[in-house]
Amino acid sequence: MSMDEYYTLKQEADDEYVVKHSRFISYALPVQTQEEAVAFINRIRAKHWDATHNVYAYVLRDGQIKRYSDDGEPQGTAGMPVLDVLLKEELSDCCVVVTRYFGGILLGGGGLVRAYSHSAKLGVDAAQKIKMALCVRASCSCDYGFYGKLSAMIPEAGGTIENTDFTDRVTVGFTIPQGLYESFCAAVFDASLGKVTPTEQEKLYAPAK
């Protein structure tokens, strides 16, 4: 995958399953900073203050940070398996917390690894993996005669219209993958006979189509 793309989670979600009377609840959330990850972990810990363990792992693009905690489970049987799921899925900017209520039957080292791995995967699947691409947020101002053409060209070129402002002219705000922006600008310039040129506002990561 190029430096302009990465995978993360679409939304906060949770899922759970029971093995040998132990209840595992997996919570997943897209995050962008260590503070957001820690706040999420603390929120789940507060919600499940009576749980036997609240195991977590998170991966951040900023600083290439990878963190995990076994939270009292035998070393290597909980936090690392959760982190491994994130790494195998090539996910970043996300956090997973797996809460365990002990059911009275020991699972053993291998059983714990499988349980935490499976729980983490359930949480990730519920939160939905999405690809993010580096995009340009820009705007185009044109007269009403060219608006119909422009509003069709943006999605055809791989862009997404975000807003439209109708005054004496029409201003269309949109995002488009960075790699497509220059050719789109050239196409708009040609189609409008040199009268319309997009104006770049910022670069940001947005869900890839």
Cα–Cα distance for residue pair 102/96, rounded to 1 Å: 19
Q: Which domains does the chain have, with CATH numbers?
A: 5-127 (3.30.230.30), 133-207 (3.30.70.240)
User: pLDDT tens, position by position, for the chain (209 residues)?
Assistant: 557 889 999 999 999 999 999 999 999 999 999 999 999 999 999 999 999 999 999 999 988 999 999 999 999 999 999 999 999 999 999 999 999 999 888 898 999 999 999 999 999 999 999 999 999 999 999 999 999 999 999 999 999 999 999 999 999 999 999 999 999 999 999 999 999 999 999 999 988 76
Reading the block at residue 73, the tokens are 């489970």
DSSP H/E element including 26: strand 22-30
Please give the span between the terminal C-alpha atoms of the chain, in angstroms, as a whole number: 15
Stretch (H or E) spanning 96: strand 94-101
pLDDT of residue 88: 97
Q: 3-class DSSP state for residue 187?
A: helix
pLDDT of residue 142: 95
Q: What is the DSSP letter of 190?
A: H
Q: How far apart are CA 173 and CA 160, in angstroms?
A: 9
Q: What is the pLDDT of residue 2?
A: 59
Does this model's pTM top 0.85? My answer is: no
Q: How far apart are CA 194 and CA 19, in angstroms?
A: 66
Q: Which residues pair with 22 in a beta bridge?
A: 19
What number of CA atoms fall less than 13 Å from residue 85's CA on the CB side? 31
